[in-house]
């Protein structure tokens, strides 16, 4: 199981400390939410912040573009230091082209699905992807409650990947914490994004370690 704390939930005035906490907590990635105030009703992290974060972090960046017309920004965020980069199916007119551009730059390419978007839209592009990010909340704001039907969606996607013998990572983002991470992993998810559960806790480093322990424990 990969763990990717979401930096949006950290103290944005002290991202260097948050990046160090991710290293100490054993995070595999730092999840970076980029919002444009158009595709989603919020405005967040831009290219200079990602550059600064990449420069001070030993943990690779997994950048999630929640933007309209992602082709306009793709190159900038790749140059800024994204190791994994994902775009929304709902925002991308030429998805195959975007995935190819990301991979040509040596980054892993992912497609994000909003909660109400069925996995079937990925049928043709799935073999080309490095990962799929399933939203388990409606994107735009941190701290939302987990949508339980995301678990069945993950199970169906895992089944499709295994049936076609593909090497595609399943990630999930939104409302994941200590109480439900085991269920998320059991549904077939490989990479868990956790924001408020980590950075709103008293000890983010200890919380990351506990999340991994819970995720890798035997189901009750």
Catalytic residues, which ones?
33, 173
CA neighbor of 157 nearest in space, from 110, 214, 103, 194: 110
Residue 132 burial (CB < 10 Å; 0-12/13-18/19+)?
A: buried
DSSP per-residue letters across 101-136: HHHHTT-EEEEEE-TTS-GGGGTTTGGG-SEEEEES
Q: Angle between the 15-24 and 47-56 helix axes, to the nearest 10 degrees?
A: 50
Residue 60 burial (CB < 10 Å; 0-12/13-18/19+)?
A: middle
DSSP classification of residue 11 = -
Strand partners, 78: none
Kind of pairing, strands 131-135 and 169-173?
Answer: parallel
């Amino acid at each position: 199981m990969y763990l990717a704390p979401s930096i949006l939930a950290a103290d944005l005035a002290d991202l260097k400390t948050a990046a160090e906490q991710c290293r100490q907590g054993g995070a595999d990635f730092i999840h970076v939410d980029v919002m444009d105030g158009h595709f989603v009703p919020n405005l967040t992290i831009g290219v200079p912040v990602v550059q600064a974060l990449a420069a001070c972090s030993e943990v690779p960046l997994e950048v999630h573009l929640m933007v309209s017309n992602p082709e306009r920004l793709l190159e900038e965020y790749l140059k800024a230091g994204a190791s994994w980069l994902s775009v929304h199916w709902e925002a991308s007119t030429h998805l195959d082209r975007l995935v190819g551009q990301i991979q040509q730059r040596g980054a892993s390419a992912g497609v994000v699905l909003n909660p109400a978007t069925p996995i079937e839209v990925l049928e043709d592009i799935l073999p080309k992807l490095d990962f799929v990010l399933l939203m388990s909340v409606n994107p735009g704001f941190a701290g939302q409650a987990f949508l339980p039907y995301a678990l069945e969606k993950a199970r169906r996607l895992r089944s499709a990947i295994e049936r076609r013998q593909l090497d595609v990572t399943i990630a999930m983002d939104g409302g994941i914490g200590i109480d439900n991470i085991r269920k998320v992993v059991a549904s077939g998810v490989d990479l868990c994004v956790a924001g408020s559960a980590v950075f709103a806790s008293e000890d983010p480093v200890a919380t990351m370690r506990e999340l991994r322990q819970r995720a890798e424990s035997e189901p009750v």
